[in-house]
Homo-oligomer: A and B are copies of this chain.
Amino acid sequence: MIMIDGDAPPATELQDVTATSTMTMVDALNSALDVMLTRDPDVLIFGEDVGYFGGVFRVTNGLQKRHGLQRCFDAPISEGGIIATAIGMGAYGLRPVPEIQFADYILPAFDQLVSEAARLRYRSNGEFWAPITVRSPYGGGIFGGQTHSQSPEAIFAHITGLKTVIPSNPYDAKGLLIASIECDDPVIFLEPKRLYNGPFDGRHEQAVKSWAGHGAAEVPTGHYSIPLGTAAIVRQGEAATVLAYGTMVHVALAGIQDSGIDAELIDLRSIVPLDIDTIVASVRKTGRCLILHEASRFGGFGGELSALVQERCFYELEAPVTRVAGYDTPYPHAFEWDYFPGPARLAAALTELMRG
């Protein structure tokens, strides 16, 4: 389903839509939370600085004022405590939407997410479960240095019982966040912070773009959701398949343009559940596959994608599945643009892929 290039989202994905308005990704996420706080009294939000102040990225701005102190409040600086509390609330029957201020700071809560949230339903044979949605800004491109830039999706994708969702534009962000909150499983909802206020394509030397004018920035003001596990075909093409998510969707689009290669670009939107059918159909068609992610390459989610693609499309492949990713170093402050897998690296790899 094409939507980044200005097409309207397909009607099947919409419900309840009365009007749209132009939104940044921050606006769209805020709107999703607002809609859910309004519709469901069991939804509540807490996290560091999310209450009166409205979050360091302003995603929860105004929600405490509009919905009351109990619905959106500040939490102690204790990521483990935040997630443990959310799980307990979830087990009670609420649908908490905790925020972790940066995805880098999810790690102190890793045990809660893996040993508890992800396993509660299974081990209790369905007596208890944790319908929590953990929102967290992630990824680089903002000169945040090592601990405000990381992309930890691979370590979640490996955990049985967790879902991991990553939007790339305002329209998806809202629809996927609503679907995540309504989902009865624990969801890690990673928000590409570099996309909060504009569709960044990796051309960092160019002027900053805003969402205004982008097709996916026209967002319904009401309730709608995008089913988790459905990828979006952002660009149709015949020569190769590019798999990406988050910021890298825009980088890929730019890189494809630069390369002049007629690549098909798939925005995974959620990595668990993964839309394997869309991926396989595309690679069967193109015979070539390139995976782009910002996280370090080794052990990253690209490895899983690469393995899946060659397991299922081996005999259709005309060249090795290729990965373009961050280097196997920590995220370095001064070398942000050297580390960042930008459009030039993508274009070069794509060109190389066509030679294979």
A residues lining the B interface (CB < 8 Å)? 80, 104, 107-108, 110-111, 114-115, 118-119, 122-123, 146-147, 154-155, 157-161, 272, 295-296, 298-308, 310-311, 314, 317, 319-323, 328-330, 356
In the complex, how many angstroms separate the beta carbon of A15 from the nearest chain B beta carbon?
31
Bound Cα distance A276, B106 (Å) = 32
Q: Do residues B329 and A160 form an inter-chain contact, with CB atoms below 8 A? A: yes
In angstroms, Cα B110 to Cα A158, docked, is 15
User: Once the chains bind, are A298 and B111 in contact (CB under 8 Å)?
Assistant: no
**Chain B: which residue is nearest A320 at the CB level?**
B314
The answer to whether B299 and A306 touch across the interface, beta carbons within 8 angstroms, is no
How many copies of this chain does the complex contain? 2
Q: Nearest CB to that of A329 among chain B residues?
A: B160
A38 to chain B, nearest CB (A): 35
Ordered by A's residue number, 7 sampled pairs between the chains whose C-beta atoms are within 8 Å are A80-B108, A107-B111, A160-B328, A298-B304, A300-B304, A303-B303, A307-B321
Residues on the B chain within 8 Å of A320, using CB: 310-311, 314
Tell me the bound Cα distance from A115 to B105 in angstroms: 9
In the complex, residue of chain B having the shortest beta-carbon distance to the beta carbon of A79: B111
A310-B310, A320-B311 known; A298 vs B122 contact (CB < 8 Å): no
| Contact call B307/A311, Cβ cutoff below 8 A | no
A301 touching B299 by the CB < 8 A rule? yes
| A340 smallest CB distance to B (angstroms) | 15
- Residue in chain B with minimal CB distance to A154: B158
